[in-house]
């Protein structure tokens, strides 16, 4: 029988997840059906319960439901606890709901695939919202030399740094605390969406540095355009999207899909 999965969001119409998981299923020969479901903003738990009652085995969760998904789980992975957010739901044989978060693993896998060194790197992360909280534990697990979190609202960056201090060398502050050079700068703010750029010093990048935007689109973000003009190698978040999907697929099916052809097809379609 075909196992059923879905992605929940609101809105969800433009989600690439159904196409990604269909490609993974075809590549691996796994018999799954994967659809997109727009859950009501005020009743995510009801939408998941209904899907599970109809035989759903698991789901991805995207904006704005990752915190609601976190709250409804019977059991959580360590990285989901750290993220305080769940992007992957798994219904086990006993009917219990387990929650995980594969966003950070997807980012780290994408960096590895693109040969961006993390171990011993000087890393700057811009932003301190849910997207950044979701990736800090896997980034720190790769043992960078140091990781500085800078945010428009300095307090939020300091709180994040304190929350993750037991996992590695992490500091936080406002944008004025950013002093380069860095080997890797990751933009996790939503500023790019509005075409805005955080104030950054011109000497931000070390020679050979990489700039990574967790956002993606047909055109480079404002942050990546700035980074390119300042000499960095530029990568967008499409590989992270496919990477987190591959990690979720592995959690559900125990099979690791090859992201490269799926990513290439998505890139062509942007």
Is position 130 an interface residue for ligand ATR (rule: CB under 6 A)? yes
151 is in an annotated binding site: yes
Among 11, 190, 203, 229, binds ligand ATR (CB under 6 A): 190
Query: Residue 96 Cβ, how far from ligand ATR at the closest point, in Å?
Result: 27
Is position 237 an interface residue for ligand ATR (rule: CB under 6 A)? no
Query: Residue 106 Cβ, how far from ligand ATR at the closest point, in Å?
Result: 15
Specify which residues 61 forms β-bridges with. 8
Secondary structure, 3-state, the chain: CCEEEEEEECCCCCCCHHHHHHHHHHHHCCCEEEEEEECCCCCHHHHHHHHHHCCEEEEEECCCCHHHHHHHCCEECHHHHHHCCCCEEEECCCCCEEEECCHHHHHHHHHHHCCCCCCCCEEEEECCCHHHHHHHHHHHHCCCCEEEEECCCHHHHHHHHHHCHHHCCEEEECHHHCCCCEEEEEECCCHHHHCCCCCCCCCCEEEEEEEEECCCCCCCCHHHHHHHHCCCEEECCHHHHHHHHHHHHHHHHCCCCCHHHHHHHHHHHC
42 is in an annotated binding site: no
State the catalytic residue, choosing from 12, 25, 36, 66: 66
Residue closer to ligand ATR (CB basis): 18 or 129: 129
Is position 156 an interface residue for ligand ATR (rule: CB under 6 A)? yes
16 is in an annotated binding site: yes
Stretch that binds ligand ATR, among 32-40, 44-52, 113-121, 125-133 (CB under 6 A): 125-133
Is position 174 an interface residue for ligand ATR (rule: CB under 6 A)? no
Residue closer to ligand ATR (CB basis): 172 or 257: 172
Is position 227 an interface residue for ligand ATR (rule: CB under 6 A)? no
Residues 57 and 92: their CA atoms lie apart, in Å, by 8
103 is in an annotated binding site: yes
Contact indicator for 238, 266 with CB cutoff of 8 Å:
yes
Is position 129 an interface residue for ligand ATR (rule: CB under 6 A)? yes
Residue closer to ligand ATR (CB basis): 91 or 187: 187
Is position 128 an interface residue for ligand ATR (rule: CB under 6 A)? yes
Other Cβ atoms closer than 10 A to 93: 5
Q: Is 66 a residue of the active site?
A: yes
Residues 249 and 21: their CA atoms lie apart, in Å, by 8
Residue closer to ligand ATR (CB basis): 10 or 152: 152
Residue closer to ligand ATR (CB basis): 189 or 210: 189
User: Which stretches of the chain bind ligand ATR, using CB under 6 A?
Assistant: 127-132, 151-153, 156, 189-191, 194, 196, 198
- Give the residue numbers of the binding site: 15-17, 62, 78, 87, 103, 127-131, 151-156, 214, 216, 237, 244
Catalytic residue annotation: 66
């Amino acid at each position: 029988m075909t196992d059923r999965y879905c992605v929940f969001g609101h809105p969800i119409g433009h989600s690439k997840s159904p196409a990604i998981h269909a490609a993974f299923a075809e590549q691996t020969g796994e018999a799954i059906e994967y659809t997109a479901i727009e859950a009501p903003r005020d009743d995510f738990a009801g939408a998941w319960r209904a899907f599970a009652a109809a035989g759903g085995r698991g789901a991805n969760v995207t904006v704005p439901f990752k915190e609601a998904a976190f709250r409804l789980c019977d059991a959580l992975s360590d990285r989901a606890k750290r993220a305080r957010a769940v992007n992957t739901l798994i219904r086990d044989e006993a009917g219990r709901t387990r929650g995980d978060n594969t966003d950070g693993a997807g980012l780290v896998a994408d960096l590895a695939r693109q040969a961006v060194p993390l171990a011993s790197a000087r890393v700057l992360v811009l932003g301190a919202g849910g997207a950044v909280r979701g990736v800090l534990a896997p980034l720190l697990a790769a043992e960078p030399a140091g990781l500085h979190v800078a945010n428009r609202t300095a307090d939020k960056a300091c709180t994040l740094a304190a929350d993750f201090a037991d996992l590695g060398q992490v500091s936080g502050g406002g944008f004025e605390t950013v002093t380069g050079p860095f080997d890797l700068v990751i933009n996790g703010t939503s500023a790019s969406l509005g075409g805005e750029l955080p104030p950054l010093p011109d000497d931000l990048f070390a020679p050979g540095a990489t700039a990574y935007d967790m956002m993606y689109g047909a055109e480079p973000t404002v942050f990546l355009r700035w980074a390119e003009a300042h000499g960095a190698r530029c990568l967008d978040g499409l590989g992270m999207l496919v990477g987190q999907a591959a990690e979720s697929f592995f959690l559900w099916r125990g099979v690791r899909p090859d992201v490269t052809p799926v990513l290439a097809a998505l890139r062509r379609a942007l």
